[in-house]
Amino acid sequence: MHSREVLLSLGSNVGNRLAMLTRALKELDKAGLRITAKSRVWETEPWGVADQPRFLNMCAKAETSMTPEETLAAVKGVEQTLGREKRRRWGPREIDVDILMIGGETLELPELRVPHPYMHERAFVLVPLCEIAPDAVHPLLKKTAKELLAALTPEKMSWIIRI
């Protein structure tokens, strides 16, 4: 099998948010997603549902030989291992790991859409993504992460720490 580059977005707004992101990176690595780069951690306002705690967000780049479906299963397994509870859509979460892109592939399955369907609308994804993959090209929009970020309205985000 050939190796694929996977770009991930991680977020947490329940419990010890920073510890959860750190644990998620370790668990993703153990699950077969070898982390090769990670952004700084950013504190951000919630997106979708405003009445909830602020998030810590970051992005990571990984290499894997897994298929996209296996990658999704690994990501969901990490979320479950770390205690993610089912709540309302876009509501509070212990950990959220989204697959943003897998190489230059596009995929449309009921449980997985690649590239992530909202990534180009979210500064909390694009700001940290630009730290590790500014020239990653969105396979449908044909724009780099840097170009997608430049098209957004600036959003108040605070840099917290590099882990």
User: DSSP for the chain?
Assistant: ---EEEEEEEEE-SSSHHHHHHHHHHHHHHTT-EEEEE-EEEEE--SS--SSPPEEEEEEEEEE-S-HHHHHHHHHHHHHHTTPPP-STT---S-EEEEEEETT--EE-SS-EES-TTGGG-HHHHHHHHHH-TTPBPTTT--BHHHHHHTSPP---EEEEE-
Q: Quote the pLDDT of residue 86.
A: 74
> Which of 98, 113, 122, 135 does the annotation list as catalytic?
98
Domain with 151 in it = 4-162
Catalytic residue among 4, 17, 84, 122: 84
Q: Is 135 one of the catalytic residues? A: no
Say whether 162 is catalytic: no
pLDDT tens string 11-55: 999 999 999 999 999 999 999 999 999 999 999 888 777 788 999
Per-residue pLDDT, 49? 75
Exactly one of 4, 96, 135, 162 is catalytic; name it: 96
Q: How many domains does the chain have?
A: 1
pLDDT for the residue 26: 98
For the whole model, what pTM was predicted? 0.91
Where the chain has pLDDT below 50, the residues are: none
Q: Find the CATH number of the domain harbouring 39.
A: 3.30.70.560
